[in-house]
Structure 1
Amino acid sequence: MFFKPPLQTGTLLKRYKRFLADIEFDDGTQITAHCPNTGSMSCCSTPGSRAAVSLSDNPKRKYPHTLEMVKDNGTWVGVNTSRTNHLVAEAITEQQIEEFRDVTTLRQEVKVSKKSRLDILVEHDNTTTFIEVKNCSLAIDGCAMFPDAVTARGTKHLEELMSLVQEGSNACIFFLVQRMDADRFRPAIEIDHVYSTTLKRAVSRGVMAIASQAEVTPKGISIVRRLPIEL
């Protein structure tokens, strides 16, 4: 995925009210950007960090800029979670994900119950797989981790995936690690014990777990390799 037009870079002044971030461009101009990330962004919201924003041409938006990435530990980190599903869908369509080669159908935002949707459904090799995608921006000492905040919704998604497997479908939890300073992935049990233990249970019951790493730059984002998962 390439950014058109290219992202503007500057300095992150602060993230606040969860969905807002103040940025100062290199020419001294200051703007408030929308921050589409419900997590804590604990490692990528430090004031003074380099940041990159996109600019919407929608005249109805109150905040036309969107925070796309922040630099942490010398690497760009993708924090716009509204792009994550598209990145994974793009990689599947381009046959970059080994488990989902020869896909005949790909649908997004698939309803699986009265109150729940999952991110992607693919048909491949005469099988159907439901995929829930999670954006991973947290990494400590070379280990990418999810979640960065307690996520009851994420645990519910794992329960949905287990139910689908029990009913005879294939199911996958897909972690997209949007930073290049990690060489492995594990659930952040010290942040959300319930989610972490539920993930282990889901894998033991047949839910596929995939962690892929994306190279993130102000020019674009692309999935480049798989990461081993430590449960």
Structure 2
Amino acid sequence: MEYPDLVPGTLLRRYKRFLADVRLDDGREVVAHCPNTGSMRAVNVPGCRVWLSPSDNPKRKLAWTWELIELPQPDGGVALASVQTGRANRIVEEALREGRVVELAGYAELKAEVRVSIGDEKASRLDFRLDDPERGSAFVEVKQVTLREADGHGYFPDAVSERGRRHLEVLSALAERGERAVLLFCVAHEAIPDVAPAEHLDPAYAAALRAAAASGVEVLARRCEVGRRGETPVAIRLGPVLPVALERRFND
């Protein structure tokens, strides 16, 4: 997935969940839309370099969207992390259509935003359904991971996520009735080496993830790769396989 022409700046603060003040490299201070409803634990770091996408749409209230942040690393370098949660599904869809997620390659059709009914409960919405006349269907739910804790590992979620737990329950029910059900962690942080459930933040989600895996839900993780032209990010794509450590706990 290619980015529009991104503009660099420095993060001043994030507030009211959806707003961020940024000082552009040319000295202007702008208000950017922050397309992330989570806590943004470990990626909301004032003083760090960020990248914004501009818009000339006169109907938009804000002309800027916060896309990426550069986070300092122990070795003195920086790692890019995407704060734009809306990009994750597009990144994964592109990879699925191109057959780059080997475990999910070979299906004839892909449908996005599919409704799934389990028993008498209200229908839920999952991100993708892959269909094939011979192989049947595969239901896929995508979660973006950006939380890298002090131990150097990646975790999900970054705050209590009732919605995320509900998705796990739906996937588990699908697996138990014989459907293929997949949870795909889209790791949008260059320095995250693996993923584990964030039991220290949401123990109910961690328990639900382990139960889902035990019921037959496939749990996959891929890290995003950011393409650059010089220092400027120009594209992002789903890349390497990462391990998922269901039993690892974070010890602060």
**Coarse TM-score class (shorter-chain normalised):** over 0.9
Matched, 1:139 2:143: no
In the other structure, the counterpart of 2:11 is 12
Matched, 1:84 2:88: yes
Residue 11 of structure 1 aligns to a residue in which SS? strand
> Which of 1 and 2 has greater Rg?
2
1:221 is matched by which residue type in structure 2? I
Matched, 1:23 2:22: yes
Listed one character per residue, the Cα deviations across residues 18-73 of structure 1 (whole Å, up to 9, x for unaligned) are 11111110111111111111111111111111111112232211012111111113
Measure the CA separation in 1 of the matches of 2:163 and 2:223: 23
Gaps of 5+ in 1: none
1:162 is matched by which residue type in structure 2? S
Measure the CA separation in 2 of the matches of 1:99 and 1:58: 39
1:55 is matched by which residue type in structure 2? P
In the other structure, the counterpart of 1:118 is 126
Aligned-pair Cα RMSD in Å: 1.2
In the other structure, the counterpart of 2:166 is 156
Matched, 1:66 2:57: no
Residue 60 of structure 1 aligns to a residue in which SS? coil
In the other structure, the counterpart of 2:138 is 129
- Following TM superposition, by how much is the alpha carbon of 1:179 offset from its aligned partner in structure 2, in angstroms? 1.3
2:131 is matched by which residue type in structure 1? E
1:227 is matched by which residue type in structure 2? L
Residue 37 of structure 2 aligns to a residue in which SS? coil
Residues 224 and 239 of structure 2 are in contact (CA less than 8 Å); yes or no, is this contact kept in structure 1?
Answer: yes
Residue 175 of structure 1 aligns to a residue in which SS? strand
TM-score of the aligned structures, taking structure 2 as reference length = 0.88
- Following TM superposition, by how much is the alpha carbon of 1:115 offset from its aligned partner in structure 2, in angstroms? 4.1
Residue 166 of structure 2 aligns to a residue in which SS? helix
Q: Using the aligned pairs only, state the percent identity.
A: 42
Residues 15 and 22 of structure 1 are in contact (CA less than 8 Å); yes or no, is this contact kept in structure 2?
Answer: yes
The count of corresponding residues between Structure 1 and Structure 2 is: 230
Measure the CA separation in 2 of the matches of 1:72 and 1:43: 9
Q: Of the candidates 186, 197, 208, which is equivalent to residue 218 of structure 2?
A: 208
Measure the CA separation in 1 of the matches of 2:56 and 2:100: 31
Matched, 1:34 2:43: no
Residues 104 and 123 of structure 1 are in contact (CA less than 8 Å); yes or no, is this contact kept in structure 2?
Answer: yes
Residue 133 of structure 1 aligns to a residue in which SS? strand
Measure the CA separation in 2 of the matches of 1:185 and 1:212: 10
